[in-house]
Amino acid sequence: MNKEQLTQAWDKVFPLSEKVNHHKVTFTTQYGMTLAADMYTPKDSLPAGEDAHRGLPAIAVSGPFGATKEQASGLYAMRMAERGFVALAFDPSYTGESSGEPRRTASPDINTEDFMAAIDYLSMQDNVDAERIGIIGICGWGGIALNAAAADTRIKATVASTMYDMTRVSGNGYFDAADSEPDRHAARETLSRCRLADPMAMAGGVIDPLPDDAPQFVKDYHDYYKTQRGYHARSGNSTDGWRNIGTQAYANARFLCYINEIRSAVLVMHGGNAHSRYFGEAAYHYMVDGKAQGYSFTGKTNPNPENKELLIIPDATHCDLYDGGWTEARGKGESKNMIPWDKLAAFFAQHLK
């Protein structure tokens, strides 16, 4: 993938803000992938207190799991650029306009490296202060963001929004309903057979049409990924998902083991009515206290608990924190503004000094 092959026309699920500049970029990872990204920068004069010679604080954004930069991550990046940050929304390896074959494959290691490669890229930009870089991970990429923050001390502040722990849900099932050796063995047997029978079989795309008995959170996913609200042709969640065996490694890993050792600032943000809220709360409590329900590993109390925060947005569902929540005026693209953009900006401004 190179710049000439990237889609140059604006094809996001949200309108471009008049307050930012935007252009496409690419960068490489240590695994040899070329990642495609959208760079958003403030259009107006420098924010108060910023020095042009110092460079601006920057934020790398990705997620949700199976989504692309044209969806929620791009919106987050643009809103942060409106508030004075250089912001980079990228497609993960094997996804969207980024490189990697077979398509729609995922790996705890490769996806964590995707975030760290974004830090590499931002650190080399003339308009960025390399000592002031943070990240935002949305949905499954919230857990990946925490894993990256535990591994890479260049990350000075992290927001995990409406997060999933992809390793926990892959190995234990939703709400830990399959957290047993027999259940995991049965799942492993199925995936093992898939490797020979049909290694390119796809799964995970949002079901369409919805069955009458679909859980509310599945309806919420449909409302985002399968309507004009958030549908995008390059998004696996909007179309046919990701490779069945492409997430096999997630089911056999637990990658939040060391988040209780993150010294930098972390904000875990979740909706009060989100089905996934238990992921964020457990991650927060394990990060601060060294223990939490659903975690088989234990650790010591975090050395810097004072810069960790759990923010619950009342009445918000999982997908409300993708775009702020949708109103009935779909044709106008209006939202309920349930994402506290100024709060996020203040968090990064405080910790990216």
pTM assigned to the model: 0.95
Q: How far apart are CA 130 and CA 133, in angstroms?
A: 6
SS3 at position 47: coil
Q: How many CB atoms lie within 10 A of CB 160?
A: 32
Note the pLDDT of residue 45. 66
pLDDT score recorded for residue 44: 78
Give the amino acid at 312: I
Tell me what pLDDT residue 300 has.
Answer: 82
pLDDT for residue 15: 94
For residue 4, the model assigns a pLDDT of 53
Tokens representing 256? 């939040």
Q: Can you give the pLDDT at residue 329?
A: 45
In the chain, which stretches have pLDDT less than 50?
1-3, 329-331
Q: How far apart are CA 144 and CA 136, in angstroms?
A: 10
